[in-house]
Amino acid sequence: MVDTVVVEIVGLSTSECGPFPCDETRTCGLEVCYPSNSLMDAVDALRQAILEEYGDRVEVQLTLLDEEMPEHIREIIEKRHPPLPIILVNGRLTAIGRISLRLISEEIEEELES
């Protein structure tokens, strides 16, 4: 069982939060970032929701690729070609591909139980 989970969101400062437009159904589970469709707003909303749910057991990091690409991200992109935003949980690439509280929480729970 891990003590801390790190969720890393990778994208561009001008990226959208996912491939689908923001709408009033809020399937992502986040409210405060609607209707911006902005990655930056969505990560802030996700960070707050994760903090409320998990406290200090989970850290949400944002890695922006605007000016440089960290080596660990370069390796992932070269091997797997994932779409932005990229969601990593404890360094593991997930298949989520968007900011979704429910889907990211499922990945967090899996890590906390392992």
Looking at residue 107, its pLDDT comes to 97
Q: Which one is predicted more confidently, 25 or 6?
A: 6
Residues 6+ apart with CB under 8 A from 7: 46, 50, 58, 59, 60, 61, 87, 88, 89, 104, 107, 108
For the chain, what are the domain ranges? 5-113
Looking at residue 22, its pLDDT comes to 81
**In the CATH scheme, what is the code of domain 5-113?**
3.40.30.30
Question: What is the identity of the amino acid at 78?
Answer: E
Give percent of the chain with pLDDT exceeding 90. 84
Q: Tell me: the pLDDT tens digits for 51-100?
A: 999 999 999 999 999 999 999 999 999 999 999 999 999 999 999 999 99
